[in-house]
């Protein structure tokens, strides 16, 4: 695995993604999702909202890196809140 040049932050990132995917799959098996319409302009399932949340979080991080000198952890905390809002009311 050394050739993959792992670092602690990237390992934690992928563990986080893996945990989210396993968690969402388990949730889906226990209680299957129903498509619904929230504040987003389209009807979404739980998986759709997760995808939208992860993709938008990636762009929020990129915008933070490109446009500000603020610590990236601030963007991560903001994205965590955004994910919760999106999953609950999106």
Partner 1 sequence: MQTKVENNKAWFLVMPVFLIVAFSAIIPLMTVVNYSVQDIFDPYTRYFVGTEWFKQVMLDSRLHEALLRQFLYSFTILAIEVPLGICVALMMPTKGRGASLALILVAIPLLIPWNVVGTIWQIFGRADIGLFGAFMSGIGVDYNYASDPTDAWLTVVLMDVWHWTPLVALLCYSGLRAIPEVYYQAARIDQASRWAVFRYIQLPKLTNVLIIGVLLRFMDSFMIYTEPFVLTGGGPGSSTTFLSQSLVQQAIGQFDLGPAAAFSLVYFLIILLVCWVFYTTIMNMQKDK
* Binding stretches for partner 1 (CB under 8 A): 2-7, 9-10, 13-14, 42-43, 51, 55, 58-59, 62, 65-66, 72
Burial class (CB in 10 A: 0-12, 13-18, 19+), 67: exposed
Q: Which two tokens stand for residue 75?
A: 């963007």
Smallest separation (angstroms) from partner 1 to the CB of 8: 9
User: What is the closest distance, in whole angstroms, from the C-beta atom of residue 80 to partner 1 in the complex?
Assistant: 18
Kindly state the tokens that stand for 82: 């955004």
Min dist CB 67 to partner 1, Å, is 8
């Amino acid at each position: 695995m050394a050739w993959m040049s792992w670092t602690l932050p990237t390992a934690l990132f992928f563990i986080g993604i893996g945990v989210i995917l396993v968690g969402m799959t388990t949730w889906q098996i226990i209680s299957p999702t129903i498509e619904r319409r929230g504040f987003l302009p389209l009807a979404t399932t739980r998986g759709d909202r997760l995808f939208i949340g992860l993709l938008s979080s990636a762009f929020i991080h990129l915008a933070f890196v490109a446009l500000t000198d603020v610590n990236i952890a601030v963007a991560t905390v903001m994205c965590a809140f955004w994910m919760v809002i999106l999953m609950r009311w999106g």
